[in-house]
Structures are given as C-alpha cells and as structure tokens.
Amino acid sequence: GDSVTQMEGPVTLSEEACLTINCTYTATGYPSLFWYVQYPGEGLQLLLKATKADDKGSNKGFEATYRKETTSFHLEKGSVQVSDSAVYFCALHSGAGSYQLTFGKGTKLSVIP
C-alpha cells in the first residue's frame, strides 16, 4: 500500500539557519504530494503541493520538488524564523480511486532566537 516516510524529529534550529526535512514515499500510480503544517493549537494547514514529477511547490519561503526518480519530496527553507516552529507533515494522494491522504509521522521543528 501507499506509505510516506519522513525524518524523525524533533529538529531544533537557530533563527536564520537552513532547513531540510526529508520525505520519501511509496505509492501506486502517480501521486500528488503535499506538505501540511500544524502550528501550536491549530489545525493542519496546506503549506504547498506538487501534482506531477519535477513540479516545485512553494509558499512562505518553503520549497519542495517532486522527484519521481528518487520518490522524494524534501521540504526546504533557506532561512527559518521563530514563527516557523510547528509540526510538518508530508502526505500523498494516490488518486487511485480513493480520496484519502496518506501521511508521514510528522516532524516537529523548533526555531530558537
């Protein structure tokens, strides 16, 4: 079945450091890929998405590129801020007749001043 593996957290970075959160997937067909973010006390928010190979999703300074050859969708940001502290979830939608999202376990990011 479909699965998503993302790097274990927690991750602690200093403000303005570079961020990479690794995400790899296993899926049938050609999935759409997503990064969701959950800020403290809030629901999951869609951060960015990519629907086909080589697409790059971007939002709020975050980027992720859909790499079919390595089945990866790593999340990157060049300079993190304290306000980026949250839990980040990688997810996929296989589109194979089902509407459900398959999630990774989540990576908690803490950014310290």
12 binds other proteins (CB under 8 A): no
> Would you say 19 or 104 has its CB closer to other proteins?
104
The only residue of 34, 62, 66, 88 in contact with other proteins, by rule CB under 8 A: 34
> Beta-carbon neighbour count of residue 35 at 10 Å?
26
Determine, following the binding rule CB under 8 A, whether residue 10 of this chain makes contact with other proteins.
no
Measured from the CB atom, the residue of 2 and 84 that comes closer to other proteins is 2
Q: Residue 96 and residue 29: Cα distance in Å, rounded?
A: 7
Q: Which is nearer to other proteins, 49 or 74 (CB)?
A: 49
Contact 103, 89 (CB under 8 A): yes
Our finding on whether 49 is near other proteins (CB under 8 A) is: yes
CA gap 79, 56 in Å, rounded: 18
Structure tokens at 4: 């998503």
- Residue 39 and residue 45 in contact, taking contact as beta carbons nearer than 8 Å: yes
Residue the block writes with tokens 């970075």: 13
Query: In angstroms, what is the minimal distance from the CB of 63 to other proteins?
Result: 17
Contacting residues toward other proteins, per CB under 8 A = 4, 34, 36, 41-46, 49, 51, 89, 91, 93, 95, 98-106
